[in-house]
Every structure is written in C-alpha cells, then in structure tokens.
C-alpha cells in the first residue's frame, strides 16, 4: 500500500509540474468524449422531449372525426361517450368544430394569403383540456372569450412570416378576426400537409386559428355544431378496447353519419415526429466521431511526448538496477491519470454540449418541453475509448524507453544528440532572415514524426470543420440548383393549387387565366405516384404538363423519343437510384380516375425520356398528352401562373384570395426559401460543433507549442544567453507553429473532403429524396486556412509568459 | 540603470596594467539563493574581482565553489544579491530584464560545457547566429561566419550539422559563434569538460589566441592543470575568493599541459 501511495505521489508531482499541459490534454480528451456523448444523445433527447411535450398538453388518445361536410349538434359526440360500456375509461373529452378557410395575414411588406383551418375549441385553457394550446406569445383563450371574435394564431405560421404576437387576420367574404396570441396544440408540433403527408413547406402554406367553439361556429355558419371530438383515456386503459366501444356507441348514436375513430399514433404529425426521430442522428454521429477521433489522436500524440521526456529518468533507473516493469509504472500512471482527468472533464463538456444543443433544438423545433439531460450511458462508451487510447499513448513510448540501453538513455549534452531528421535536405535552401529564418523551418523538419503527428492533430480538428462547413456549402448549392431549375425562365412563377380537379377552359381555371394579374397560365395535373425498378421504389410528385410549355417546363437534358410507351422525365437522383438512363423503362404507380370522386391505383411501364437537373428526386413529369393514362384528360388540379407585366406575385395572391375552387397560391420560390430557412436553422447546431472544433485545434496547437518550449528550453536559454530578444524568439516559434498549423490544415482539408463525402452519404441515406451536390466553397477553404493559421499563431503567444520568466542560468546548468 | 562605458579608475589587482581598460569589476559581490523557508544558500560571498581587457583569467574551484554562479553574475544571467557588478563600464544592478538582454547582446558571449549548438542549423548557420543576434543583418553576416569558422580550423565543415561533428569540432563551432558576435568579453564554462585531452588543448589554444588578440576571456574550470596557462588564476572555495594572482610556478606553455 505504501508503495502504491509512493508511486501515486511521484506521478502526481509530475502532473503538478506540467499542470498546464496536463490540463490541456485532459480538455482535449474531454472535448472528444463530451461532444461524442452530447451529439450522440440527440435522438434520445428528442424522444424524451416529444414524450414530455405530448404529456404536457395531454395529447388525445383517440380522436373522433365526422366525414367531410358532416356536422352534429354540440354535445352529441360527448353524449355518445356516456353510453359506452365503460364510461369510466374516459378521463376527459372535448368537442371541436374544425372547418377549412382561407387566411389573409398580409402585412405592409408582404402578401400572406394561404389556405387554413379554424379549430374551434372549448376555451377552458389550463391543464385539464385535451390537446391543450401552448401559448408562445400573447395570451391564450379563456372562458370570457367564448363567442368573442378572437383566436390564437398557430405559432409556426406566425413565426415563418414574422407576424406580431397579436393582430388581425382576414377571412373570406370580408370577415376578419383578431388574434390575441400565438401558440400550438400537440397536433401542430409540426405543420403537415394532410393531402400529401409531408411537412416540408407546410407551415408557410397553412394557417391554423384556434378559436372558441362558439366563435368558430359563428364564423363558419355552423353555430352550435361540432364535427370532432378528442378523448383522453385513463392511464392503463386498453386503447383498442376503448376504441371499439366508442365506435359501437357512435354507430348506434349516428347511424347515418360517417364517423372514424383514430388513435394518436395515427395522427399524421405524431407519426412524422417519431418517424423523424433518428433523422440527422447519423450525420451528427459521424460529426461527433470526427471530433472524437481528432481529440483522441491529439491526446495520443501529446501524452506520448510528455512520457518521452522521461526517457532519461527511466534510463537512470535501469542503470541503477531497477526492474523495467517497476520503472514503467510511473509514466503509465501518468498516462492513466491524464486520461482519467480527461474523462472527468468530459462530463462537464458533455453537459455543456447538451445545454448548447438545447438552445438550438428549441429554436429549430419549438416544443413545450425540451430536455437534454446528460446521458451517462452514451458517455461511458466514448469515455472508455477516451481513457484507453491516451493510456495506450503512454504505453508505446514507455515500451520504447525500457528497451533502450541504460547508457544510451542517460547520455547528456552533445553525446545525446540525435540526427537532424530531414533538416539536411533543406540546408541548401536559402531562406530570408539569416539563421533566424532557418531555425523555424529546420525545427519543423528535424523531428518529422513529431511534426506530422502534431499536424495531424490540428488537421483532425480542421477535418471536422471542413466536413461541417462543406455540408452547409453542399446544401446551399443543392438548394440553389433546385431553385434554378424550378425558376428557370420564370422567376416569378406561382403555383395555384385548386380544390379538386376542375375542367380546363371553364370555371375557376378560366377565371384564373382571365385574371388581370395573370400574364400567362398553364393548367396542369399534380398527383402522387411511385417509381419502381428492380426492387427499388420511392414516392414522387407526378406533374402532367406541356413539356414544351412557354410558361415553364423542366429542363430535359438529352431527350430521347418515347417510342411506343408513355414518356417520363425524372430527376438525376431518381435515375441513379433506379439505375436507369434515358431510353430505359421503369414502372410508375399512379392514380387512375374511375368515377367523379373515385380513384384507383395502377402501374404503367414508361420510358425515361429525359433527366432534369432538380436535385430533388420527388419531381417527375409527364407530358399532358399522357393525362389520359390517369383518366384526367381535360381537367387540372393546379395552374402555373406568371404574373402579368406590372403585376407582382403578391398581386396574383390577392387576386386569387377567396376564389372558390382555389386551395392555395404560393410562389414556386417559396419551396427553396423554406429549405434555406431549414439550413439556416441548422446553422446554430453547426455553430456549436464549429466552436468545439476550433477550441480543439487551438488546444492541440497550444499544447504542442508548450511542449516544444519545454523540450527546447536549453536551446532557448542559449539564445537568451546571447541576448536574443524574447519577441524575436516568439516570432520564430510563431512561424514554426504556423508552418505546422498550415500543414495540419492542408491535411485537414484533404481528409475533410473525404469526411464531407461520408457526411453527405449519411445525409443522403437519411434524406434519400435529395441528390446532394458536393461542394466546398472557396470561402470554406479560406475559413479552414484561417482557423488553422489562427490556432497556430495564437498558440505560441500563450507561451510568452513562460519564456519571459525563464530562469536562464538554471536551464543552462549541465546535468551530470 | 546602466551608466555609459568608460575607463574605470582605482585598479584593485596587482597585475593590472596601466592604460588598459578594466572590463569586469566586482565589488563585494554576494549571491544568495533562497531555498524556501528560512533556508538560504550563499553561492558567492563578498567577492571582489577586476579583469582587464585582453586578460585570460581562469576561475578555479571544486564543484559547488560558486564559479559558475560567478560567471552567471558577470554575464548578467543572474543578479547579485549584494555588491556592485560593472562590466564593460556598465553597472548591472537594478537593470531591467530588457536592458540585461541588450547588455549581453552587445558585450558578452558564452561558451558552454556541452556546447549548446542549435541542432537544426549547420556549423556555418550556428556561427551566423552569433552575428545575427547582434543585429548585423547584412550580406556580410555569412562572410563573417565563414571567416571565423576558417580561423578555428573548420573551413571544410561549414555545412555539417552538430550531430555530424565530433565533440571538439562542436566546441570549436561554439567558440566561433562566440567570436562572431565581436563582443569584448567571452565567458567559458568548463569548455573542455566533455572533451578528451588533445581536443581540450586545442580549444584552450583557440581561447588563448583570442585573449592575445585583445578579447577578454574568462574560463571557469575545476581542472587545475588548465590554470597553468592563464594570465591570472582566481581560486574560489565555498563562494569566497581564496587567491587571485598569476599561476603558481608561473605561466606555462600550452604544450606543457597534461591531464
């Protein structure tokens, strides 16, 4: 026991002597393990936060909906619940009136005219409501608001258009309603397009007004009526059993009304939320792994250098007859203690990452509850490696040290001098600055292994940065490419979605075409479909239009004749995923009309006649002559419009607002804007990782510089003995550090490009519908160079104090 | 605060030559090191010393006698605790660290027992360092370095790195580096300590020739044999000067040395 204590004390002294370097290495390990634990916990945090958020607002367990167009008197649905076999199963139930509408939320600077929905709710507020409303700004609804013309505006929509916390919303027919706050209920934690089953862009294109039930009735002309019921069941109740009883009771109460009962899992947004849980996790895991590798590698290099400095002591010990394994104990203990310290610091860093990520996640995805607790289980795995690898870093030099002959290890002065590494290769290379100019470069090359390891340490951090920034560049380029294609020749193109299929050449289509705000218009059909080939299948939006339309048509690239089959134009990504080229055939599943309102699904073999450059594979185009395949000749459910000369997109929106038969009016550019906003919202998360990557690069550079100062103390003391100025030496060490830093940055850039490829592959796997374009912008390369240079230049300056305080005479004293 | 150079009056050693400037003057110099708490170590006690320009002085003493501390105090690497140190007419007491750096640049050059060459520089570049540090950054720096190296007999080893040179060659490069500065005072701490006899004699010969050419040379050693070729021998024991005068038995020729 005494011996163990002896070794611990001795190793502790070494740690104390080098406390700055030890702390920095520990921080490096901590960055790697902490970031790994933090970023790796994101999907866990999301699940936990989703669970808590749904619990906080008492999301319904069951929802009763009447068929479209059906309404019953208030109290009917709640009354039916009392007649089920087990009424005690129902903890709470709220009737609602949900009606479609159109919303005019225009401001002075923008026309905001979108389809929407009025959700009439019991204005009780508080925690007893089922599907309560989480108020983000302003106030919620109270009993006193029942029947009053007030509402709460859905928050995602308000946030997207930067609307104030209170205001007025225009409704069709000249009506309007004031909103007293913004917020959302659990069904709107994400805004989804019910028809197409996705959430992208939906918040820009759909507004929800939560109004008191009586108010909703007045606005919709359905006073005293309801068409929806949300139910919260008691804990432990069998949901399916409850559903059966409720269905039976409703069939009995409303035999002539279509009624459906759905569970919360069948809610579109609920499904999207949890289905989306692991999205981005793969990419974040990869980023975390890059940081982890960088940190552990850097710690490996730096720890081994500290241990190498003890070779002479080990040699002295061997010369005195001590056993090798006994001599190995102290440096191994030092390595273990540094690694352990790193793991302990990692807990703090992991907590910090969690806190920083919480802020970002709250911004990207507002929820009532966000929890980002430190996940010990995630941390343990990273910590084990974070401990093991630096510990192994000490084992290697210790093994080397105990294998050297004692007499070699204890040589001092010129007898201990080693070779010049690669310095002899440069002796004929003239550099400005005389001997001062030569010293930094020679220092870099005379210990090539050490230089490379330090450069790689810095490079690893830069690699993570390049991967990250490269992802943003690639995303931006991909969005731009899609934008260019969608707006090609028609930057103000507007898509008018119709309520159902309308005959071309009459009715609402004619009204649109004849509107003074419309310059040119092209009716088209937009339906969902699926492309298939050899086991590969994925959903697409099929747009049937004139492929030579003067309004807009997809860029066909090298088009081929269709031959005897219908032709289809697909995206490059779609072609790659299906393994086809123009001229090949694929199977296309699409709707076919069997009656006025009845559709079936069928599959048609089509020939790929062209590849369009939009990176989103979801877009596929058929010529209007093939509309007959779907039984949709002569009809349209969308009209693409170009504003008339002198008219703007907003003018078109205003002109269409309130048209019966018009479901929505959106500029095509809005899609790209939503994607840009999404990327922009992710910048916060990326900024967190950027910060840690820069910190890592700086720590590696600093520690390398600090260890250099220790290892070259004698050389520096000699320079000072000759009267060299401290600032001159600092300049030289800065140049040396800059060379290594730039070398590391170049390594980081090179490997970063490979890392970028891996990140994009991961992102593509998570979002297969997007064909990501790989791009590393010049600004990114410059940023990486600047980061590497900055870290390298700052690091030696942080050793200035040590140099200025050097005891020159003690340092020069000869060791006997 | 350092005062301008000038010829000092009041010579204090018997061998002082009239009209020859005093380069080093120590007056009642004491150097104490605090070892923590009440402990303190007195490395030099009440040392007085005067060295003229061009003298070859050997400071002799066993290990722990304070001879290296004496060298460090003269070379402004350490500050005296008490007393006055004047070198090349400059008083060192109270000088700032910056001033001391400048003082060394302009007045003192060191030669170390373990040479302390810069391993990444060739012999020529190591010597050129001596020129560069004084601020003579012109096309003549390399020429000066080359000339000095040839003077010390290493004209054919200019491009060799220290690890490619023998111990004697390395020490000659170190001497050349010191000479290249052109400073009036050379302080050599056990310059032959890591060398064999024959090489050591060669080194001493070089130093002696510098003294004869007008450079003041102070050599610290524990080897009594070396003191036989000195102009003056200052013997230290336990931090005190126990004797200061010509070598016993008179100054010997370098060829008579044996150890």
pLDDT tens digit string along B119-163?
Answer: 989 999 999 999 999 886 556 888 999 999 998 999 999 999 999
Single out the residue of A29, A7, A707, A1 nearest to residue A332, CA to CA: A7
CB contact under 8 A, B77 and A436: no
Of the segments A483-487, A500-504, A723-727, which one has the largest average pLDDT value? Answer: A723-727
Portion of chain A with pLDDT greater than 90, in percent: 38
Cβ–Cβ contact B119 with A under 8 A = yes
> Which residue did the predictor score with more confidence, A10 or A726?
A726
CA of A727, closest CA in chain B: separation in Å? 11
Residues B212 and A801: their CA atoms lie apart, in Å, by: 42
Q: Give which of B75, B116, B136 to mutate to test A binding, by max A Cβ within 10 Å.
A: B116
* pTM (predicted TM-score): 0.77
Single out the residue of B174, B70, B58, B201 nearest to residue B113, CA to CA: B174
Q: What is the 8-class DSSP label of residue A629?
A: G
Q: A198-216, pLDDT tens digit by residue?
A: 455 567 778 999 999 999 9
Of the segments A379-393, A568-582, A653-667, which one has the largest average pLDDT value? Answer: A568-582
Q: Is the pLDDT of residue B181 over 50?
A: yes
CB contact under 8 A, A723 and B159: no
Q: Are B22 and B52 in contact (CB under 8 A)?
A: yes
Which residues of B are less than 8 Å from A443 in CB distance? Answer: 120
Q: How much is the pLDDT for B139?
A: 61
Cβ–Cβ contact B105 with A under 8 A = yes
Q: How much is the pLDDT for A816?
A: 36
Cβ–Cβ contact A426 with B under 8 A = no
Cβ–Cβ contact A420 with B under 8 A = yes
User: What number is the average pLDDT over the span A14-31?
Assistant: 85
Task: Break chain A down into helix, strand, coil percent, rounded to 5.
Answer: 55, 20, 25
Q: Is the pLDDT of residue B1 over 50?
A: no
CB contact under 8 A, B120 and A420: yes
CB contact under 8 A, A434 and B137: yes
Q: Is the pLDDT of residue A591 over 50?
A: yes
Report the chain A residue with the minimal C-alpha distance to residue B130. A722
CA of A318, closest CA in chain B: separation in Å? 23
Portion of chain B with pLDDT greater than 90, in percent: 66
Q: A645-697, pLDDT tens digit by residue?
A: 999 988 898 888 777 788 778 888 877 776 777 777 777 777 887 888 888 88
Sequence-distant (6+) residues with CB within 8 A of A376 are none
Q: Is the pLDDT of residue B25 over 80?
A: yes
Average pLDDT, chain A: 86
Cβ–Cβ contact B122 with A under 8 A = yes
CB contact under 8 A, A814 and B190: yes
Token digits for A542? 């099929």
CB contact under 8 A, B101 and A720: yes
Q: A33-85, pLDDT tens digit by residue?
A: 888 888 888 888 889 999 999 999 999 999 999 988 889 999 999 999 999 99
Q: How much is the pLDDT for A5?
A: 82
**Angle (deg, nearest 10), helices B140-151 and B167-180:** 130
Which residues of B are less than 8 Å from A714 in CB distance? Answer: 116
Q: How much is the pLDDT for A52?
A: 94
Q: Is the pLDDT of residue B239 over 60?
A: yes
Q: Is the pLDDT of residue B29 over 90?
A: yes
Residue A368 three-state SS: coil
Q: Give Dmax (Cα) for chain B.
A: 56
User: What number is the average pLDDT over the span B221-225?
Assistant: 91
Residues B226 and B247: their CA atoms lie apart, in Å, by: 10
Q: Produce one character per residue of A721-730: b if its CB has 16 or more CB atoms within 10 Å, e if not.
A: bbbbbbeebb
Q: A782-810, pLDDT tens digit by residue?
A: 989 998 888 888 888 888 998 999 999 98
Task: Break chain B down into helix, strand, coil percent, rounded to 5.
Answer: 30, 25, 40
Q: A320-336, pLDDT tens digit by residue?
A: 777 788 888 888 888 88
CA of B228, closest CA in chain A: separation in Å? 25
Q: How much is the pLDDT for A197?
A: 44
Q: How much is the pLDDT for B10?
A: 40
User: What number is the average pLDDT over the span A457-465?
Assistant: 85
CB contact under 8 A, B121 and A721: no
Confidence of residue A418 (pLDDT cuts 50, 70, 90): low
Give the least confident one: A256-270, A291-305, A322-336: A291-305
Q: Are A29 and A345 in contact (CB under 8 A)?
A: yes
Report the chain B residue with the minimal C-alpha distance to residue A804. B97
Q: Is the pLDDT of residue A815 over 80?
A: no
CB contact under 8 A, A814 and B126: no
Token pair 């367990």 in the structure block, residue: A61
Q: Is the pLDDT of residue A195 over 50?
A: no
Give the least confident one: A145-149, A247-251, A576-580: A145-149
Q: How much is the pLDDT for B3?
A: 35
Q: Is the pLDDT of residue B6 over 60?
A: no
Q: What is the CA radius of gyration of chain B?
A: 18
Q: What is the 8-class DSSP label of residue A193?
A: B
Residues A759 and A39: their CA atoms lie apart, in Å, by: 14
User: What number is the average pLDDT over the span B150-177?
Assistant: 92
Sequence-distant (6+) residues with CB within 8 A of A333 are A7, A8, A11
Give me the residues of A, 710-739, that contact B with CB < 8 A: 714-715, 718-726
Report the chain A residue with the minimal C-alpha distance to residue B76. A721
Q: How much is the pLDDT for A196?
A: 44
Cβ–Cβ contact A435 with B under 8 A = yes
CB contact under 8 A, A814 and B193: yes
Report the chain A residue with the minimal C-alpha distance to residue B124. A435
Q: Are A640 and A601 in contact (CB under 8 A)?
A: no
Token digits for A253? 């109460």
Q: Is the pLDDT of residue A590 over 90?
A: yes
Give me the residues of B, 125-164, that contact A with CB < 8 A: 125-126, 128-134, 137, 141-142, 159, 161-164
Report the chain A residue with the minimal C-alpha distance to residue B169. A414
Count A/B contacts: CB-CB distance under 8 Å. Answer: 112
Distance of CA A726 to the CA centre of its chain: 47
Q: Is the pLDDT of residue A244 over 90?
A: yes
User: What number is the average pLDDT over the span A357-380?
Assistant: 85
What are residue B220's phi and psi, to 5 degrees?
-105, 130
Q: How much is the pLDDT for B33?
A: 87
Residues A301 and A289: their CA atoms lie apart, in Å, by: 18
Which residues of B are less than 8 Å from A725 in CB distance? Answer: 101
Q: Is the pLDDT of residue A733 over 80?
A: yes
Q: Is the pLDDT of residue B11 over 50?
A: no
Token digits for A606? 């089509």
């Amino acid at each position: 026991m005494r011996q163990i204590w002896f070794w611990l004390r001795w190793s502790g002294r070494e740690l104390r002597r080098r406390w700055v370097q030890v702390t920095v290495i520990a921080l490096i390990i901590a960055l790697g393990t902490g970031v790994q634990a933090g970023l790796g916990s994101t999907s866990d945090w999301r699940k936990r936060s989703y669970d808590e958020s749904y619990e906080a607002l008492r999301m319904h367990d069951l929802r009763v909906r009447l068929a479209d167009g059906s309404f019953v008197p208030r109290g009917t649905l709640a009354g039916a619940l009392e007649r089920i076999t087990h009424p005690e199963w129902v903890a709470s139930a709220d009737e609602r009136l949900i009606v479609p509408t159109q919303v005019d939320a225009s401001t002075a600077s923008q026309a905001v005219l979108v389809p929407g929905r009025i959700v009439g709710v019991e204005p009780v507020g508080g925690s007893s409501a089922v599907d309560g409303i989480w108020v983000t700004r302003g106030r919620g609804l109270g009993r006193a608001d029942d029947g009053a013309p007030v509402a709460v505006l859905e928050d995602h929509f308000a946030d997207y258009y930067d609307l104030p916390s209170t205001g007025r919303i225009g409704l069709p027919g000249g009506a309007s309603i004031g909103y007293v706050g913004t917020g959302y209920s659990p069904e709107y934690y994400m805004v989804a397009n019910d028809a197409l089953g996705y959430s992208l862009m939906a918040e820009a294109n759909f507004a929800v007004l939560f109004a008191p039930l009586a108010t909703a009735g007045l606005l919709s002309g359905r006073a005293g009526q309801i068409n929806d019921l949300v139910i919260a069941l008691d804990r432990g109740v069998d949901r399916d059993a409850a559903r059966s009883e409720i269905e039976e009771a409703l069939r009995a109460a409303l035999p002539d009304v279509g009624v459906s009962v759905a569970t919360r899992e069948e809610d579109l947004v609920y499904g999207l939320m949890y289905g989306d849980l692991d999205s981005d996790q793969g990419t974040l895991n990869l980023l975390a792994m890059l940081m982890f590798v960088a940190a552990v590698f850097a710690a490996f290099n730096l720890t081994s250098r500290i241990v190498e400095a003890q070779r002479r002591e080990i040699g002295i010990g061997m010369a005195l007859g001590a056993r090798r394994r006994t001599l190995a104990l102290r440096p191994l203990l030092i390595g273990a203690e540094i690694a352990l310290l790193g793991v302990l610091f990692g807990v703090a860093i992991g907590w910090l990452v969690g806190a920083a990520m919480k802020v970002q996640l709250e911004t990207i995805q507002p929820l009532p509850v966000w929890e980002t607790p430190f996940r010990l289980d995630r941390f343990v795995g990273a910590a084990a490696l974070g401990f093991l690898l630096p510990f192994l870093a000490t084992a290697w030099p210790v093994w080397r040290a105990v294998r050297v002959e004692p007499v070699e290890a204890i040589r001092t002065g010129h007898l201990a001098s080693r070779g010049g590494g690669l310095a002899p290769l440069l002796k004929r290379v003239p550099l400005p600055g005389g001997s001062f100019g030569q010293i930094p470069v020679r220092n870099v090359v005379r210990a090539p292994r050490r230089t490379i390891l330090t450069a790689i340490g810095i490079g690893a951090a830069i690699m993570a940065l390049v991967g990250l920034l490269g992802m943003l560049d690639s995303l931006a380029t991909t969005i731009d490419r899609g934008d260019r294609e969608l707006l090609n020749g028609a930057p103000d193109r507007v898509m008018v979605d119709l309520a159902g299929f309308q005959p071309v050449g009459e009715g609402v289509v004619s009204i649109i075409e004849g509107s003074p705000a419309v310059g040119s218009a092209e009716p088209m059909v937009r339906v969902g479909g699926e492309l298939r080939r050899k086991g590969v299948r994925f959903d697409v939006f099929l747009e049937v239009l004139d492929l030579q339309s003067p309004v807009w048509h997809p860029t066909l690239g090298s088009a081929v004749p269709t031959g005897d089959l219908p032709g289809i134009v697909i995206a490059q990504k779609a072609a790659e995923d299906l393994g086809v080229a123009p001229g090949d055939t694929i199977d296309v599943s699409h709707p076919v009309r069997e009656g006025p309102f009845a559709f079936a699904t069928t599959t048609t073999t089509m020939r790929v006649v062209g590849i369009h450059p939009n990176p989103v594979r979801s877009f596929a185009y058929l010529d209007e002559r093939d509309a007959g395949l779907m039984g949709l000749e002569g009809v349209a459910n969308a009209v693409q419009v170009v504003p008339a000369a002198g008219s703007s997109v907003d003018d078109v929106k205003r002109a269409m607002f309130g048209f019966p038969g018009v479901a929505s009016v959106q500029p095509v550019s809005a899609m790209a804007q939503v994607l840009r906003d999404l990327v922009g919202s992710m910048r916060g998360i990326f900024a967190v990782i950027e910060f840690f990557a820069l910190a890592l690069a700086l720590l590696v550079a600093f520690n390398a510089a600090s260890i250099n100062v220790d290892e070259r103390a004698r050389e520096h003391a000699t320079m000072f003995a000759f009267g060299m100025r401290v600032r001159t030496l600092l300049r030289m060490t800065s140049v040396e550090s800059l060379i290594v830093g730039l070398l590391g940055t170049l390594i980081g850039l090179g490997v970063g490009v490979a890392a970028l490829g891996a990140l994009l592959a991961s992102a593509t796997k998570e979002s297969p519908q997007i064909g990501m374009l790989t791009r590393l912008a010049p600004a990114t390369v410059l940023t990486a160079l600047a980061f590497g240079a900055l870290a390298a230049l700052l690091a030696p300056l942080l050793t200035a104090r040590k140099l200025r305080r050097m005891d020159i005479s003690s340092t020069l004293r000869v060791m006997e | 605060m350092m005062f301008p150079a000038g010829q000092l009056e009041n010579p204090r050693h018997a061998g002082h030559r009239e009209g020859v400037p005093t380069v080093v003057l120590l007056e009642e110099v004491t150097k104490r090191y605090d070892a923590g708490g009440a402990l303190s170590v007195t490395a030099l006690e009440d040392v007085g010393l005067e060295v003229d320009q061009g003298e070859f002085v050997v400071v002799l003493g066993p290990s722990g006698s304070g001879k290296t501390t004496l060298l460090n105090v003269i070379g402004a690497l350490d500050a005296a605790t008490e007393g006055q140190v004047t070198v090349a007419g400059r008083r060192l007491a109270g000088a700032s660290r910056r001033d001391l750096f400048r003082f060394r640049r302009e007045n003192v050059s060191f030669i170390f027992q373990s040479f302390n060459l810069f391993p990444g520089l060739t012999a020529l570049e190591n010597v050129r360092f001596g020129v560069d540090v004084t601020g003579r950054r012109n096309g003549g720096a390399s020429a000066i370095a080359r000339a000095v190296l040839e003077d010390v007999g290493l004209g054919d080893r200019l491009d060799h790195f220290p690890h490619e040179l023998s111990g004697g060659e390395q020490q000659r490069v170190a001497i050349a580096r010191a000479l290249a500065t052109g400073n009036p005072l050379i302080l050599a701490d056990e310059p032959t300590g890591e060398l064999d006899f024959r090489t050591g004699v060669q080194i001493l010969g070089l130093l002696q020739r510098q003294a004869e050419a007008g450079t003041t040379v102070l050599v610290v050693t524990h080897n009594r044999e070396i003191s036989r070729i000195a102009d003056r021998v200052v013997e230290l024991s336990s931090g005190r000067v126990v004797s200061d005068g010509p070598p016993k038995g008179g100054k010997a020729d370098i060829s008579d040395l044996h150890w």
